[in-house]
Amino acid sequence: MQRLESEKTIEAHLERTLGQRYNYRFEAHWQPVIGYTVQSDIMIGEKAPENAVKQKARISLPITYTVTKEEIYVPFNQSSIYAAVNSPEPERELHEMFNNSIEIASVGCAEIITEIVFPYDYLESLNSTEISVNSEQLACIAGPDDPNYSSPVVQSALGCMNYTVNDIYGMNITLNPEEQNISLDIVDTVQTLIMDRNVEIISGHIKNSLGDDINQTVELICNAPDNRTRYQLADEQLGEIYRTANPAGADIVLMLW
């Protein structure tokens, strides 16, 4: 729903400002984690010819990353690096430190994604026998009609939760809320399941995408001549982890011809 409204607003603006003079194609691409499958795309206008004029930009989004760069750096400091390098298994210790940083980053990004795919506050508001809400707030795919549920809002919410848990995340879990309301326990349970799954997926993705770089960094740290150099090497890799989990914007392209 939000994407459709955004498309309508952007298209109206483009038509008003460019439509009378140019043909145009507008594209916006956002990935909350670089290379991760969850993403959002907006494309307006017909496919542009090869000779179209292109303008590219990166814009910030009104989304706050819930983990700071400093928090990702917590496992690493001069003392912890020195201790790891001088331990009986320096490579294992350093890999564990990087895994801890990845876990911290993954939790921060998973909170953003979970909030996007699972409208907790809205579903929590259905935890009463008097339901008076705008069903358009539920930006999920509604489930099939079920005569056992007298409220169409509850039916829609149940369909949303089942779709998110089973179709998107493949958890194979059947949710059976009460007839007139959705139990807060169910909402909490589903949110926790999705959050945990997102952390697992994102953490695995970051480890796979940066694994070779991390291995190389660990080797360089172990062979570095002093602790200052070791920290600089770790700092560079931690920055890459942070940027992967927090792209901090969307890429937009405007083509005119």
Q: What is the pLDDT of residues 14-23, one digit of tens each?
A: 888 888 888 9
The C-alpha atoms of residue 44 and residue 8 are separated, in whole angstroms, by 9
E strand or H helix at 254, and its extent?
strand 250-256
The C-alpha atoms of residue 140 and residue 134 are separated, in whole angstroms, by 13
To the nearest 10°, report the CA torsion of 152, 155, 160, 161.
140
Mean pLDDT of 24-38: 81
**pTM as predicted:** 0.72
Q: Is residue 135 very low, low, confident or very high in pLDDT (cuts 50, 70, 90)? A: very low
How many angstroms separate the Cα of 109 from the Cα of each of 192, 237, 243?
14, 18, 11
CB-based contacts of 229, cutoff 8 Å, min separation 6 = none
**203 and 103 Cβ atoms separated by less than 8 Å:** yes
Q: Shortest CA distance to 102 belongs to which of 229, 203, 210? A: 203
**144 and 159 Cβ atoms separated by less than 8 Å:** yes
Q: What is the pLDDT of residues 202-232, one digit of tens each?
A: 999 999 999 999 999 999 999 999 999 999 9
Listed by start position, the domains of the chain span 2-64+247-256, 69-245
Percent of the chain whose pLDDT exceeds 70:
81
The values of phi and psi at residue 53, to 5°, are: -80, 130
